[in-house]
Amino acid sequence: MYQKTTLDNGVRIVTEEIPYVNSVSIGVWVVLGSRDEKRNENGISHFIEHMLFKGTKKRTAMQIAKEIDSVGGILNACTSKEYTSFYAKVLTKDLPLAIDLLSDILLNSTFNPKEIDKEKQVILQEICMVEDTPEEHIQELFNRVFFREHPLGYPVLGEPETVGTIDRAKIIEFFKEYYTSNRIIISVCGNLKHDEVVRKIEDDFGSLPKEDGYAAKDLPNPISQVLIREKELEQTHVCLGSKGPSQTHPLRYASYILNAVLGGGMSSRLFQEIREKRGLVYSVYSYMSAYFDTGLFTIYAGTDGDTLKKVIELVIKELRRLKINALKKGQLQMAKEQLKGNLILACENIDNRMGRLAKSEIYFGKFITVDEIIDGIEKVAKEEVIQLAEEIFNKDYLSLAVLGHVKEKNFTKGLLEV
């Protein structure tokens, strides 16, 4: 059962009671990510995420780690483009401890200068790790080339030159500006009682001062662009994509179908045509990144430098086919069954359900039930998928990023015509 309570200071609490499990998953979600950063402070949201585990007024970093380990629990965090999440999973009896730990790190962190200097080196190594992982690095490069100077194109981790300038004063200033009650959503899922959870959370988070709503975000203005980054690698990696639907777009369910058909599984067109039929890749897939007011539809493939142009031509060919004749007989219903199955299986995991609760509140301001999503999927018509394909696969937005060895330097000329 879903319930929602908003504290007097604006902190939102959303819960889902699942009485047959023995655990609880809880997340404190802050509507703040790399999109909210200025260019010269890129990476500070992620930096703060790290620092909140480095000691509070009453706990050292080691004490935080020991307390969660002592009950067999999990405590972690992640930063994205539009939100930051701090989450824990514990047995039901240990939920008060999880709430206490999460409230302590969010409300009482000290931001010790020595820990900041040490963590800066950790994050710089994390950035190096991404750059040494071509499949991740090319997707980051593609985001940059597609969104250009807009903050959605900034890497979540930041860049070495911006991370290097972050100090305690900048962290405290940013933290005070953005870690406010109106941006905080606390999502709890599992064996719980809503009223008991609210009372405990109010004891810890109720002292936060009330803040008004936050400013509207600037819209990106993407145009078709190409980036080729030469690097000595065994494979050449490519991302190709275009403007996609936002989180609340009227055709968002049609976009799920489109993605499933094009590159969302082993039976998808890209997988079957480029890997199974021709053997040109090991990995090829598509995915969507949906934000408050825009989105990004991306296709990834890793291939040999000699076959790069052929792989891109085959991707473009599949995009044209989708715009012209969209779906083969039975493909629409198969995609619907795939999406419904994926959704229901994901709901077997209470961590996933906790995340769904939070994201529904972030983007819709209410809980979107599984039944509503299934109904939305079922109602998608073939014509809507065609309409969306025509909107997304537009030469004015279609962009390309390549990382690795490129034999033919001018191979992209006229290639992105769809």
Task: Write out 343-363 in H/E/C secondary structure.
Answer: HHHHCCCHHHHHHHHHHHHHH
Task: Spot the catalytic one: 16, 41, 49, 119.
Answer: 49
Q: Write out pLDDT tens, residues 313-327.
A: 999 999 998 888 768
Is 49 a catalytic site residue? yes
pLDDT of residue 209: 92
Whether the per-residue pLDDT at 217 is higher than 90: the answer is no
Q: Which residue has the higher pLDDT, 390 or 324?
A: 390
Average pLDDT, the chain: 95
Domains of the chain: 2-205 (3.30.830.10), 226-404 (3.30.830.10)
pTM: 0.94
Residue 306 CB contacts under 8 Å (≥ 6 apart), including other chains: 407
Looking up tokens 């994050």 gives 123
pLDDT of residue 401: 95
Q: 149: which 2 tokens? A: 């100077």
Give alpha helix (H) positions in 149-206.
160-163, 168-178, 194-205
pLDDT of residue 17: 98
Q: Is the dihedral of CA 61, 64, 65, 66 positive or negative?
A: positive
- Tell me how far CA of residue 137 lies from CA of 38, 68, 129, 248, in angstroms: 22, 33, 9, 28
pLDDT of residue 326: 66
